[in-house]
Structure 1
Amino acid sequence: MSDDRVTLIVSDLHVGGGSADPGDDHIYQGGQLVRFLDQQATQTPEGLLGRIELIFNGDFLEFAQVNTAAYSHPSDRHWCSERESLAKLDTIVGGHPEIFAALARFQDSGNLVTIAAGNHDVDLCWPAVQQRLREVAGAGLRFEVGATWVERHDGRLQIGHGHMDDPANRFEHWDAPIRPLEGGGEPRLEMCPGTLFMVKFVNRLESRYPFADNLLPVTKLASVLLRDDKAGLASVAWTFVKFVSGTSPTVLQSGTTDDIGLRLLERARDDAGFRAAVEAALVQAGLTQSLARWRAGPIDADTLAAVMLGLLGQVDEAAWQALFETRHDGVTLGANDDVTLSALVRGGFEDGKKKLRTAAQDRVDETGARVVVMGHTHQVDQFDLDGGGVYFNPGCWTRYLELKPGQKVTLDDLRDESIYPYALNYVRVAPGADGALEAELRCFERSPA
């Protein structure tokens, strides 16, 4: 492949099941992606000449949240089998046939389409998934899986999704995520903590509040849950942050330390009835290792978090919430509080922008790249790097709600799709007349305009 092509990079489209899928966050109601593809192919000089490579930089397809019934959840470490991933893909293809037809048209004149896997579409690693996509989106469809970075223009352009710099969404075996099962059975994909959280909690919440995971900065879902819905949801937040980070989050205003974990630990240590109820739940769920750990003691924060996470999704949701309810009175978070529940899904509990800027600088230092493009955080960014390089993040092609200082929303507010704006950005990289790369962040469409 010649490197004189124009490279277009988009990220985080999260294409789901279409109108039949209430959790499909992708902006498709106005045919935006189809119009973008047709415009680039037929209304630009490079498109007419077949000189574009379009790269979907991770999370193009929303396997994690679509057709949840297809995934049998045999363990908290393993994601879909190839058969289950195909069932999810069929839902996506059936929900958006126009998108895949447009991808095929885009390639008719020689333009290329490359899909790189992210944490929400690790399912692209399955050969049968790739074959099915080539059937509906063009035989020349290309895939980049198993590598953290994709290089173009002789390495001067470095492209990475960014999830491997996020402790909540990184994979232990990204280079080979198809894993054998202990004791035999169908091989399965590795499951990262963020997907586990989606499966156990967020997917069920989105059935009631379809846009609940679209809050920014790095999502503010926890601030809404902690204030409006106290049925064990504060405990969910503590459990997952503890599971991922090993530390308890700060979620209250004015630097006040969150005491949710302390309240839970006090109950575990001092309340024999609570300990017995947890033990009974572990027996009911068949979680023998967690049961042995719970009985052996001492019960520390790590043990408690592991037990709570193990039970989440394995016992009735109402029973889990009743068991671990902290009777918290609710809080109000300001717009500058970055530690939130959904942050673990979309970009970790740390500052996503700063982490990816650091990763981009490290990549420039390692490779001498001039342009670095990443995604994952859903936060648009452009930043000049030391040594003359530049970093871009085009953000996402989904709706979002960015809370301003002092702005408050409730769970009922999340039902109103109209309050969520969007900005459909892409990065264009092309060789200049002098051979240097010319890169810019462009917006295809935004709402409000």
Structure 2
Amino acid sequence: MSLVELPQHAAIHVISDIHMGGQPGFQILREAGRLANYVRRLAAERPGESVALVLNGDVFDTLAEDLGGAYVAIEQSQQVVGRIMGDESFGPIWDALAQFARTPGRCLVFVIGNHDIEVAFPAVQRLILARLAGDDLAARARVEFSTTGAGYTCRVGEARVYCTHGNEVDAWNYNRYEDLARVGRRLNADQPFDGAQWRPNAGTKMVKEVMNAVKRRYAWIDLLKPENSAAVGTLMVIDPGQMQKLGELVGIVGEQVRGQGQLDQRLSADGFAEPAAAASATPAALEQLLGPNLRAAQQPHRAADDMLLAAEGQLAGAPAAPPGDATLGTGQLIWDRLTGWIRGIDKPEALRRALLDWLKGDKTFDPADPDATCADVMKTVGPGVDIVVTGHTHLARALRLDDGRLYFNSGTWIRLMRFTEAMLRDTAAFKPVYDTLIDGRMATLDAAQVGGQPLVLDWTTEIEIAADGAGVRGRLNRIEGDGKAAPTVLGELRRG
């Protein structure tokens, strides 16, 4: 019996983390017109050849939708996803994707992420197919869904390429694919499913129970990188009252610890990875949040610090705590002590000092930095895969690994914020940044200029993998302007 070969393409383009969802003012995707034109350009390039566009997770952001207190849209999944596709902010993107799907020689792939798990439901897939292809059977055949955690694999030239969102190795945000399959079966069989039976991962609980409420006051909270130190720490400094919401984090982290155990079991079942050590139960290390620049403003009381560090250690190694457990009080103690450092210090200066500490030596935006997602995903990939492409982190990467294989991260199409050394140089330089953060609105953020430069990064990226006479090349590209022109190549690696 002959084996069916993997799909063969002359080129594939990979984008991820588009995050279509939410109402105006709550939407984090800005360059919808650019994205639509980019897709149309891909539909027209390389006529007569096979070209794939892989949407590598978090195409939708149903966590930004009002689900009436639910964590996932189940019986209302078609209505929720249909609303997003019909939103005038995103309509041009779906028109362009429909054009792509109706073009011979094109292949459109939806890989599930952690913000769009409803794509796993058959009813939602039918809805997407109806929007993109209608009754055109040939166009329908050009659309594929990967919603079981298997990712998408194909060949470009002689190279085997593997695309996966990356949340599969994230204990905060991994999907319970078995639960998704069970819901799909219930829906297809017209059996009711009680949303209260759905157990969300820690990341979903974090977004729905904590961050969405914070985001309504500070729209930038999920745009600022790195998340653990810069984003959470910035919120702590400018509005300590908001940190009361984060008191729930200790209970949520209990879910993350459980998730780490299930994640390790899943990955190690096939011999791909050894179980990892238990994850830290605090969103950022205490010493990271209380760096030397902020400490210079006040001298700590040694006994209190020792008590806090001991409490932090207990939390890091503790099993999941049930609601109302005394551990929650310990978590509140940590946050009270952190905010206590800020009292008596001018807030703009306190934040500037803290950011100098948190961002010192930071490689968040370095495309050549082998971050944790790269290391963890590569542990799950066999030697026959030549090129790996992920997303999830929103941070573009282009790396040649020690074994010669190539690793890419497709970045994101949402807004991003980055604090530079020039912004943090002194109080005067930092004031317009601080004023924008305090305002909190997305429109103010978009309009903000610091030193003649926009505060929001214009950094929409893709991964392009193509065969040529010398082998296969992989590129990290930046899509600019209206998206119609050829991209700017940020990094190119070859697999000969």
* TM-score (normalizing by structure 1): 0.73
Partner Cα distance (2:374, 2:307) in 1: 32
Is the Cα–Cα contact under 8 Å of residues 335 and 403 in structure 1 kept in the other structure? Answer: no
Q: Which residue of 1 aligns with 2:398?
A: 382
* 2:98 equivalent in structure 1: 104
Which shows bigger deviation, 391-400 or 417-426? 417-426
| Distance change (3 Å), C-alpha of 1:240 and 1:431 | farther
Contact residue 41 and residue 50 of structure 1 kept, 8 A: no
Say which of 79, 82, 85 aligns to 1:87. Answer: 79
Residue correspondence of structure 1 range 30-109 to structure 2 within 5 A: 31-42=33-44, 44=45, 46=46, 48-49=47-48, 51-66=50-65, 68=66, 70-73=67-70, 79-95=71-87, 96-109=90-103
Among candidates 350, 358, 370, match of residue 337 of structure 1: 358
The change in CA–CA distance for 1:23 and 1:353 in structure 2 (over 3 A counts) is: farther
Q: What do residues 392-438 of structure 1 show as CA deviations (whole Å, max 9, x unaligned)?
A: 1121101110123473544325432222122111111123336x432
In the alignment, which of 451, 455, 458 is matched to residue 422 of structure 1? 458
1:23 aligned residue (21, 26, 30): 26
Displacement of 1:199 after TM fit?
0.6
Aligned-partner Cα distance in 1 for 2:445–2:371: 29
Task: Tell me the SS of whatever aligns to 1:54.
Answer: strand
Residue 227 in 1 paired to residue 216 in 2?
Answer: no
Deviation at residue 227 of structure 1 after TM alignment: 0.5
Are the counterparts in 1 of residues 9 and 51 from structure 2 also a CA contact under 8 Å? no
Compared with structure 1, are the counterparts of its residues 200 and 241 closer, same or farther at alpha carbon in structure 2 (3 Å cutoff)?
A: closer
1:328 and 1:224 mapped to 2: Cα distance?
11
In the other structure, the counterpart of 1:272 is: none
Q: Distance in 2 between matches of 1:4 and 1:84?
A: 36
User: Does the aligned pair in 1 maintain the 2:206–2:252 contact within 8 Å?
Assistant: no
Aligned identity (percent) is 20
Q: What SS does structure 2 have at the residue aligned with 1:169? A: coil
Find out whether 1:437 has 2:472 as its counterpart. yes
Say if 2:8 is the partner of 1:3: yes
Q: Closer, same or farther in 2 for the Cα pair 1:37/1:81, shift >3 Å?
A: closer
Residue 214 (str. 1) matches residue 230 (str. 2): no
1:357 to 374, 389, 402: 374
Deviations 1:229-286 (A, max 9, x none): 11151661653674334533324233789979959x89xxxxxxxxxxxxxxxxxxxx
**CA gap 1:367/1:207 in 2 versus in 1, 3 angstroms:** same
Return closer, same or farther for 1:247/1:193 CA change in 2, 3 Å cut-off: closer
**3-state SS of 1:231 partner:** helix
Which structure 1 segments of 5+ residues have no match?
74-78, 267-288, 309-323, 339-346
Q: Given that residues 59 and 121 in structure 1 are in contact (C-alpha distance below 8 angstroms), is that contact kept between their aligned partners in structure 2? A: yes
Unaligned stretches of 5+ residues in structure 2: 1-5, 134-139, 257-278, 313-320, 343-349, 425-429, 447-454, 483-487, 489-496
Aligned equivalents of 2:102, 2:219: Cα separation in 1: 36
Residues of 2 paired with 1:159 and 1:24: CA distance? 26
Q: Measure how far apart 1:363 and its partner are.
A: 4.5
The answer as to 2:193 corresponding to 1:186 is yes
Distance across 1 between alignment mates of 2:125 and 2:409: 26
1:344 corresponding residue in structure 2: none
Matches of 2:380 and 2:405, distance apart in 1: 10
What is the CA–CA distance in structure 1 between the aligned matches of 2:83 and 2:307, rounded to whole Å? 39
Distance in 1 (CA, whole Å) between partners of 2:41 and 2:202 is: 38
**What residue identity is the alignment partner of 1:98?**
P
The DSSP-based 3-state class of the residue aligned with 1:437 is strand
1:157 and 2:152 are equivalent in the alignment: no
Quote the Cα distance in structure 1 between the aligned partners of 2:338 and 2:418.
29
Would the aligned equivalents of 2:169 and 2:377 in 1 still touch at CA under 8 Å?
Answer: no
1:328 to 328, 331, 339: 339
Q: 1:38 to 1:235 in 2, by over 3 A?
A: closer
Give the secondary-structure state (helix, strand or coil) at the position aligned to 2:217: coil
How far apart, in 2, do the equivalents of 1:234 and 1:242 lie? 16
Question: CA 1:303–1:210 in structure 2 vs 1: closer, same or farther (change >3 Å)?
Answer: closer
CA distance in structure 1 between the partners assigned to 2:57 and 2:204 by the alignment: 14
Deviation at 1:379, TM superposition (A): 0.9
Give the alignment's Cα RMSD to 1 decimal.
3.6
Contact 1:423/1:446, CA 8 A, preserved across alignment: no
Question: Measured at CA, do residues 185 and 38 of structure 1 come closer, stay the same or move farther in structure 2, by a change above 3 Å?
Answer: closer
AA partner of residue 192 (structure 1): N
Change (3 A) 1:356 1:38: same
- Residue type of the partner of 2:38? F
Q: Distance in 2 between matches of 1:404 and 1:253?
A: 20
C-alpha separation in 1, matches of 2:231 and 2:395? 16
CA pair 72-444 structure 1, distance change in 2 beyond 3 A = same
Matched, 1:254 2:291: yes
Contact 1:16 1:24 in 2 (8 A): yes
CA–CA separation in structure 1 for the residues paired with 2:167 and 2:356: 24
Aligned to 1:128: 123
AA aligned to 2:402 is D
For the 8 Å contact 2:291–2:358, the answer to whether it is kept is no
Q: What is the DSSP-based 3-state SS (H/G/I as helix, E as strand, rest coil) of the residue aligned with 1:80?
A: coil
- Please tell me whether the aligned partners of residues 53 and 108 of structure 2 are also in contact (alpha carbons under 8 angstroms): yes
Letter of the structure 2 residue corresponding to residue 24 of structure 1 = Q
Cα offset for 1:90? 2.2
The reply on whether 1:137 has 2:153 as its aligned counterpart is no
Residue in structure 1 matched with residue 174 of structure 2 by the alignment: 170
Write the distance in 2 (CA, Å) between the matches of 1:59 and 1:8.
16
Whether the aligned pair in 1 keeps the contact of 2:166 and 2:377 (CA below 8 Å) is no
**Contact 1:178–1:187 under 8 Å retained in 2:** no
Q: Measured at CA, do residues 203 and 5 of structure 1 come closer, stay the same or move farther in structure 2, by a change above 3 Å?
A: same
Q: Deviations over 1:335-365 (max 9, x none)?
A: 5638xxxxxxxx9xxxx9521221344255x
Q: 1:157, 1:336 → 2: CA distance?
A: 39
